[in-house]
Each structure stands twice: as C-alpha cells, then as structure tokens.
Amino acid sequence: MSDNNPLRDPFDAIADPTRRKLIRILAEPREIPLHELTSQFDMGRTAVSKHLAILKEAGLVLDRKVGRETRFRLNAAPLREVHDWLSFYQKFWTMNMITLGQLLEEEEEQ
C-alpha cells in the first residue's frame, strides 16, 4: 500500500493500454515535456493530458511546471502494490509449504 494515499487505485490506472504506454515512455530517467509525450500518440494533447491526470491521481506520475511547459516523470512506488498482487500466490504457497514442513516434522516425532 502506498503511504501518500493516492486518489486512484493503481490497478485502474494501468488497466488502459494508452496509460501503460505512457508509463513505459516515462520510465526513462528524465523529465519529459507534454508535447514530447503527445507526439508518440495518435490522439490529441487533451486526450493525452486526461490519461496523465489519471496516472497522477494514482500517484504514478509526478509533474512540474518549467516556464510555460509541464514536465512529467514516473513515480514507480505505487506499482509495488500491483507487484504484491502478482506475488500473492508465491507468498501463500511459501507460507503453506513451511507449515507443511513443520507438520511433517511433528509426524516424525510421534
């Protein structure tokens, strides 16, 4: 879970292919201005801005005004929650397998 309590669930935020593409582009370790992001999509500036706003609400994107342009960068921290969902089964079975080990040891002692 994220500490800064985002307005939007990161699961919803990454459900859309345009937003996933935006995150991939923003994964570069630099700030990217809006026009540079917009140029990579077959949609207008307003549509891209709306997707960026959703990512921002989920805490996945940070923005900063520099002069007349807004620059964006990725904040990957909330993605850990998504990653946790994927590793849920791994944790579940690892815990269970440890319990099984204890169970087998107990049987041995009886």
Q: E-assigned strands of the chain?
A: 32-33, 61-66, 69-74
Residue-by-residue DSSP string for 52-82: HHHHHHTTSEEEEEETTEEEEEE--TTHHHH
Binding part of the chain for other proteins, among 37-45, 47-55, 61-69, 91-99 by CB under 8 A, reads: 91-99
**Quick one: which of 3, 46, 67, 89 contacts other proteins (CB under 8 A)?**
89
Interface positions, 29-48, toward other proteins (CB under 8 A): 29
Q: What are phi and psi of 22, to 5 degrees?
A: -60, -45
Residues within the interface to other proteins (CB under 8 A): 9, 11-12, 14-16, 20, 23-24, 27, 29, 74, 76, 79-80, 82-83, 85-86, 89-90, 93-94, 96-97, 99-101, 103-105, 107-108
